[in-house]
């Protein structure tokens, strides 16, 4: 289907009362399938399909929060050139405020930043890489969480950031994280590759050591009969669990950009996926029930955080 025709279809779907009447969990799966659809051509940074992806994400976020803005950025690409991307930010404290550096050096930590990258590889070697698990799952989950927590009273604010150019070197999250004053942020929650596999129904949670004492009780309180939550406190421990010695999980996704700014993180992911960065990473290969249960676990985690005394600033 040509891009112009696809755009018309998207507009029709977005305005459809049938779509808008669906439950948040039904929309979670719809979002996953739309973002991984072959007509988005793998959501490569800087492409027309990335622009269509942004339009969709902005619309979905604006359905639950009017504070949605774009954050353009550029980065070095090759020896003598640069590339550009665009983050999408939605916050219940005001999106414009969310991208402005705090000025009070002793400000208490009151914000949690939830991230997921929307870019993927596009086409490589003549093959389309849909990027369903990596990372349509994370973006669909981010939109879901923005929806369920929109009007819910919480002892902290939530900022949702759909990052760009993660695949090229975490550039979107690097840019965003540098706009933050670390003492204003409780933690980053990063969502990347949430498509839990039935044969290994684990959702791993790689967590900064500085949060271990605070979050132990939170993890114990969060349960799901279908998906096991597995807290992990080091990249080496994560590799042992997943048997993936060649991956440094501390640096594997956008949470590393926050760690570099001395901001603690909690990274939710399924770990190694044999379809990672292949043309087989399709929505059809994701177990929708287990994916939904994984996202519900993350929702429960945030609800439990709201009942837990949290550190006023990162340690």
Which segments of the chain are extended strands (E)? Answer: 68-76, 82-91, 111-117, 122-124, 127-129, 157-163, 185-191, 202-207, 228-232, 265-269
pLDDT in tens, 163-179: 999 999 999 999 999 99
CA nearest to 254, candidates 241, 270, 266: 266
pLDDT higher for 28 or 100?
Answer: 28
For residue 261, pLDDT over 50 is answered with: yes
Q: What is the pLDDT of residue 99?
A: 52
Label residue 312 by pLDDT band (50, 70, 90): low
For residue 310, pLDDT over 90 is answered with: no
pLDDT in tens, 200-241: 899 999 999 999 999 999 999 999 999 999 999 999 999 999
Helices (H), 63-119: 95-98
Q: What is the pLDDT of residue 96?
A: 45
- Please state, rounded to an integer, the average pLDDT across all residues of the chain: 89
For residue 315, pLDDT over 50 is answered with: no
Q: What is the pLDDT of residue 133?
A: 97
Domains of the chain: 3-305 (3.40.630.10)
For residue 27, pLDDT over 80 is answered with: yes
Label residue 66 by pLDDT band (50, 70, 90): confident
Label residue 188 by pLDDT band (50, 70, 90): very high
- Whether the Cβ atoms of residue 181 and residue 172 lie closer than 8 Å to each other: no
């Amino acid at each position: 289907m040509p891009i112009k025709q696809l755009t018309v279809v998207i507009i029709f779907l977005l305005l459809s009362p049938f779509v808008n009447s669906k439950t948040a969990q039904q929309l979670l799966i719809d979002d996953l399938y739309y973002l991984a659809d072959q007509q988005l051509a793998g959501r490569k940074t800087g492409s027309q399909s990335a622009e269509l992806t942004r339009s969709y994400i902005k619309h979905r976020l604006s359905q639950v929060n009017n504070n949605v803005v774009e954050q353009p950025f550029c980065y070095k690409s090759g020896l003598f050139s640069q590339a550009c991307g665009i983050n999408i930010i939605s916050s219940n404290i005001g999106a414009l405020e969310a991208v402005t550096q705090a000025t009070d050096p002793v400000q208490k930590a009151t914000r949690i930043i939830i991230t997921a990258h929307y870019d993927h590889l596009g086409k490589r070697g003549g093959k389309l890489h849909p990027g369903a698990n990596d990372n349509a799952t994370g973006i669909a989950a981010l939109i879901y969480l923005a929806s369920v927590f929109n009007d819910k009273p919480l002892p902290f604010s939530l900022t949702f950031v759909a990052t760009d150019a993660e695949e090229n070197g975490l550039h979107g999250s690097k840019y965003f994280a540098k706009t933050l004053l670390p003492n204003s942020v409780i933690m980053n929650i990063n969502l990347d590759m949430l498509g839990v596999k039935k044969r290994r129904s684990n959702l791993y949670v790689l967590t900064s050591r500085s949060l271990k004492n605070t979050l132990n009780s939170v993890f114990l309180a969060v349960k799901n009969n279908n998906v096991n939550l597995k807290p992990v406190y080091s990249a080496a421990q994560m590799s042992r669990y997943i048997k993936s010695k060649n991956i440094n999980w501390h640096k594997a996704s956008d949470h590393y950009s926050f760690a570099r700014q001395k901001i603690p993180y909690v990274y939710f992911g399924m770990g190694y996926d044999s379809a990672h960065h292949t043309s087989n990473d399709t929505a059809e290969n994701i177990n929708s029930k287990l994916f939904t249960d994984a996202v519900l676990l993350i929702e429960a985690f945030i609800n439990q955080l709201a009942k837990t005394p949290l550190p006023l600033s990162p340690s």
